[in-house]
Amino acid sequence: MKFVKTIVFLAASALVGMQSSSLMCAQGVNAQILLHPPADTWPGYHGDYSGRRHSALTEITPQNVKNLSLAWAFQTRQTAEIKSSPLLVDGILYFTVPDNIWAVDARSGHEIWHYTYPPNKGLHIGHRGVGMYKGYLFFLSPDAHLVSLNAKDGSVRWKVTVADVTQGYWTTMAPLVVGNHVLVGVSGDFDNLSGFIRSIDPETGATQWQWDSTPPVGTPHQTTGGMTWMTGTYDPDLNLAYWGTGNPTPVLNGTTRPGDDLYTCTIVALNPDTGKLVWSFQVSPHDTHDWDAVETPVLVDADFRGEPRKMLMQTSRNGYFFVLDRTNGKNLLTAPFGPVNWSLGVDPQGRPIPNPAKEPAPDGRLIAPDEGGMTNYRSPSFDIKNGLFIVDAHPSWSIYFAKPADGVYGWAGADYDVWGKGVIEAIDYQTGKIRWSHYLGPEGSGAGVLTTDSGLSFTGDALGNFLALDSSDGKTLWHAGSGSRIQSSPITYELDGRQYVVTSSGSVLFAWALPPAN
């Protein structure tokens, strides 16, 4: 009964969501906008809290998408590739590369302001974007600071240290704003460090709580690692924040950390008000292949084999697709979504059992998938109409090495990609079977997936083409060559009655729309 009520509530809120927030004369975001994003917003990394990266917009359809054309492009004039998802609030897009934030007019691509973080020694591998609360932006720097800025002009309100860059931490993720909590995570795989999620007060920058994913560094026979480098999701009804944790360290050598290495490679459910762990599900016990479980924990309310369920789904880097009951973390389905040769099967709790013979070795072990994994930080999307979990997958093989001379610190081994390809896979969430797949080219694509209610999947191939696919069968309906690699996930919004799709490739942001009627 409660479930039925929730469905009605969600449907009603979706209708509200279709209205324009400009009627509310919004300045920044509030809890209502984050809970039920209006059509002319994209207020968080995933859009809404569910991580489905699915939009109710239907102006662009399988029939007319062939007419999709460039509305504008924005050039960052930098060599850093865009890996962020822009936020859209009050008609302004906010997006990032390491050390840089831009505020850009979503109607024209005109730059409103550009913030540059001072030179620093952090790792500049990528950046996923900003979080927003009221009229404030929250930006994590390569040297692991959280900066709060005024969205109207990019001026800095305050800056606080999240972790010590000199120990080997850095930060790249887009903070998740829940209520009056700014939830942030950290990166740092090249040193033996503890991962954590921290809740920070959006007004003051003060720490509210911190949850550590691994025991303190130096605890005998215990793992370090469990970095928290991707944005989680949130269920307001259960008041649970869901987060994936990264791999253990030392990365490729597990001898100093016997056992499961909790809570690395784990999906955790935390109370966002207290940081208390409510449940956990480990997708890779005792990982020795760098397979973070940080891929989007996607929240779906639907029937599972005839029973209404509140589910959490993840296509994990280790090659398995998981469906969990997100009220308690119990496993409903575990199924590989590509070649996997490192496990001895699945245990009664639904966790893959690592095969000791497939741990990295001095003379090498052939492993599927490769170290980048069957998928990575790029977002998947869930299309409820077709019952499909659509993901940019990377079937792949590699060789893994580790020997005593590699030590027990940081990487502690070596791995080499042998072969891989990119494929969009549409997974039937009730069986794990792949209903359709769409080849993207050799090696793989870095593009995420966005689906819409009209039945479209937006993504990109391995050669830099933006693609619009038919969500029901994966057929290509539209494409545009972008001239560079695609490393981000698309978003969509409606402004002035016109639907835009925003993608990026290389250092350029592209906005696409149907030609205006007149």
Partner 1 sequence: MNLFRSVPLWSLRFAALFLLSLTISQAQTASAQSAQSKKGAAQASTPVLNKYPPAVVDSGASLFQQNCAFCHGKDASGGESGPDLTRSKLVKDDRDGDKIGPVVRNGRPEKGMPPFNFSDSQIAGLTAFIHTQQAAATSRKGGRKGVDVADLQTGNADAGKQYFNGAGGCSSCHSPSGDLAGVASRYEGLELEEQMLYPKNAKAKVTVTPPSGETIKGTLEYLDEFTIGLIDPAGVYRSWRTSDVKYQVDPSLNAHVELFSKYTDRDIHNLMAYLQTLR
**Is residue 406 involved in binding partner 1 (CB under 8 A)?**
yes
Render 404-419 in DSSP notation, one character per residue: GGG-SSTT-SEEEEEE
Binding mask 32-71 for partner 1 (x = CB under 8 A): ----------------------------------------
Q: Out of 258, 339, 497, 515, which residue is the one contacting partner 1 (CB under 8 A)?
A: 339
**Is residue 483 involved in binding partner 1 (CB under 8 A)?**
no
Segment near partner 1 (CB under 8 A); pick from 176-184, 231-239, 378-386, 401-409: 401-409
**Going by C-beta distance under 8 Å and a sequence separation of 6 or more, which residues neighbour residue 1?**
none
Q: Which two tokens stand for residue 215?
A: 């025991």
Q: Out of 441, 453, 472, 498, which residue is the one contacting partner 1 (CB under 8 A)?
A: 441
Q: Out of 8, 70, 125, 217, which residue is the one contacting partner 1 (CB under 8 A)?
A: 125
Distance CA 261, CA 265 (A): 9
Residue-level length of the chain: 518
How far, in Å, are 10, 121, 139, 320, 347 from residue 175 at the CA level? 24, 21, 7, 26, 34
Q: Which of residues 129-148 bind partner 1 (CB under 8 A)?
A: 142
CB of 109 to partner 1, least distance (A): 23
Segment near partner 1 (CB under 8 A); pick from 121-129, 213-221, 235-243, 383-391: 121-129
**Going by C-beta distance under 8 Å and a sequence separation of 6 or more, which residues neighbour residue 441?**
421, 422, 461, 462, 463
CB of 355 to partner 1, least distance (A): 11
Biggest alpha carbon distance in the chain?
A: 70
Q: Out of 411, 436, 458, 512, which residue is the one contacting partner 1 (CB under 8 A)?
A: 411
Question: Which helix (H) or strand (E) is 357 found in, with range?
Answer: none
Is there a contact between 395 and 373 (Cβ–Cβ < 8 Å)? no
Q: Which is nearer to partner 1, 209 or 401 (CB)?
A: 401
> What is the distance, to the nearest Å, from the Cα of residue 372 to the centroid of all Cα atoms in its chain?
15
CB of 443 to partner 1, least distance (A): 7
Q: Which is nearer to partner 1, 403 or 435 (CB)?
A: 403
Sheet holding 207-212, edge to edge: 176-178, 181-185, 196-200, 207-212
Radius of gyration of the chain (CA): 21
CB of 362 to partner 1, least distance (A): 5
CB of 149 to partner 1, least distance (A): 22
Count interface residues toward partner 1 (CB under 8 A): 50
Q: Which of residues 79-98 bind partner 1 (CB under 8 A)?
A: 79-81
Q: Which is nearer to partner 1, 124 or 134 (CB)?
A: 124
How far, in Å, are 169, 175, 184, 185, 188 from residue 145 at the CA level? 10, 12, 10, 11, 14
**Is residue 423 involved in binding partner 1 (CB under 8 A)?**
no
Q: Which is nearer to partner 1, 329 or 372 (CB)?
A: 372
Binding mask 2-31 for partner 1 (x = CB under 8 A): ------------------------------
**Is residue 260 involved in binding partner 1 (CB under 8 A)?**
no
**Is residue 437 involved in binding partner 1 (CB under 8 A)?**
no
**Is residue 356 involved in binding partner 1 (CB under 8 A)?**
no
Nearest to 236 by CA among 271, 261, 203, 212: 271
**Is residue 197 involved in binding partner 1 (CB under 8 A)?**
no
**Is residue 369 involved in binding partner 1 (CB under 8 A)?**
no
Segment near partner 1 (CB under 8 A); pick from 110-118, 156-164, 266-274, 413-421: 413-421
Nearest to 94 by CA among 133, 135, 130, 148: 130
Q: Give burial (CB, 10 Å; 0-12/13-18/19+) of 409.
A: middle
Backbone angles phi, psi at 46, to 5 degrees: -90, 0
Q: Which two tokens stand for residue 26?
A: 């919004």
Q: Out of 30, 64, 341, 472, which residue is the one contacting partner 1 (CB under 8 A)?
A: 341
Strands 450-452 and 456-460: antiparallel
> What is the distance, to the nearest Å, from the Cα of residue 314 to the centroid of all Cα atoms in its chain?
10
Strands 465-470 and 476-481: antiparallel
Q: Which is nearer to partner 1, 47 or 352 (CB)?
A: 352
Residue 31 per-residue DSSP state: H
**Is residue 417 involved in binding partner 1 (CB under 8 A)?**
yes
**Is residue 430 involved in binding partner 1 (CB under 8 A)?**
no
**Is residue 190 involved in binding partner 1 (CB under 8 A)?**
yes
Distance CA 322, CA 324 (A): 6
| Residues of this chain that bind partner 1 (CB under 8 A) | 78-81, 120-125, 142, 168, 189-190, 290, 339, 341, 357, 361-366, 368, 371-372, 397, 399, 401, 403, 405-407, 410-411, 414, 416-419, 441, 443, 461, 463, 465, 476, 479, 484-485
